[in-house]
Chain A
Amino acid sequence: MSDDEVKKFLYVNRKAPYGTIYAQESLEVVLIGAAFDQDVAMAFLDDGVFQLTKGQDTKGTGLKNFSPTYRALGDYEVTKLYVEQESLDERGLTLDDLQDIQYEDEDDDYAEKPSIIVVSRDQMASLMAEQDVILSF
């Protein structure tokens, strides 16, 4: 692979936020990685879907609430957040329980478009199978 070729990176998130640091430090990788102009997507499955829920309020815990950062991902041109339907279903969640995360599509007169793409488990498996680099946290 030549140096100027773009690789497909998938960041796989399977863990809930706060109980452990993985979700937060994963987000830090994604933000730094955005500067490298690769083809980046994030996958949220299993407990990873809990990272995207609305209404997170960490005041009583002393932990930093990093959930607003997901809404800023579009500014870093991270615009593909794949969320697995079965993982939502298993946890009694629907798309309405997740934050409204949007990006401005510069190829479409900066129209605001949703970053979250809900996919089936089979579609998630196919997405994983077409990556060059999969980083899991």
Chain B
Amino acid sequence: MKFGIVVNEGPYTHQASDSAYNFVKAALAKGHEVSRVFFYHDGVNVGTRLTIPPQDDRQIQEQWSALAKEHELDLVICIAAAQRRGLLDENEAKRQGKDADNIAEGFRISGLGQLIEMGIEADRTITFGD
């Protein structure tokens, strides 16, 4: 079965990204496919590589990046939500004349159409939010 996942809340403030991560891991372990994880609202903040959480805490962004690498997951950060909140990839930073980018490995920035497309293609769409 093909799952599409939406993450609507930011890391550390809300449990949504942790729950989504645990769900995705469990789905993959059962042999399901996760066609895409779409980060929206404050969920886009999961994808910055500049976080420095305390060492005794979980490393949310690194967990996602590692899982994406291992399973070739498509981690998509919504561009409209990302621009509002200061999440940029290299191209976008250049295009907007910003002096830095911050997107983490394994994530890509794309449009809201990717969310709709995921809903069309996936057998089940599950949203983690608040």
CB distance from A35 to the nearest CB of B (A): 7
Nearest chain A residue, comparing its CB with the CB of B81: A25
Does B117 interact with chain A (Cβ within 8 Å)? yes
How many positions in chain A have a CB within 8 Å of any CB in the partner chain?
17
Assembly CA distance A136 to B113 (angstroms)? 16
Known: A21-B41, A25-B40, A137-B8. A36 touches B113 (CB 8 A): yes
- The contact string, 1 if C-beta is below 8 Å from chain A, for chain B 93-124, is 00000000000000000011101110110000
A32 touches B8 (CB 8 A): no
Interface residue A125 (Cβ < 8 Å from any Cβ of B): no
Chain B residues near A21: list those with CB within 8 A: 41
Q: Which B residues between 1 and 21 are near A, CB-CB below 8 angstroms?
A: 6, 8
Chain A residues lying within 8 Å of B112, measured Cβ to Cβ, are: 28-29, 32-33
- Contact surface of A with B, Cβ cutoff 8 Å: 7, 9, 21-22, 25, 28-29, 32-33, 35-36, 38, 133-137
The 14 sampled A-B contact pairs (Cβ below 8 Å) are A7-B119, A7-B120, A9-B119, A25-B81, A28-B80, A28-B112, A32-B115, A33-B112, A33-B115, A35-B113, A36-B116, A36-B120, A135-B6, A135-B119
The 3 closest A-B pairs by CB, nearest first: A32-B112, A133-B119, A33-B116
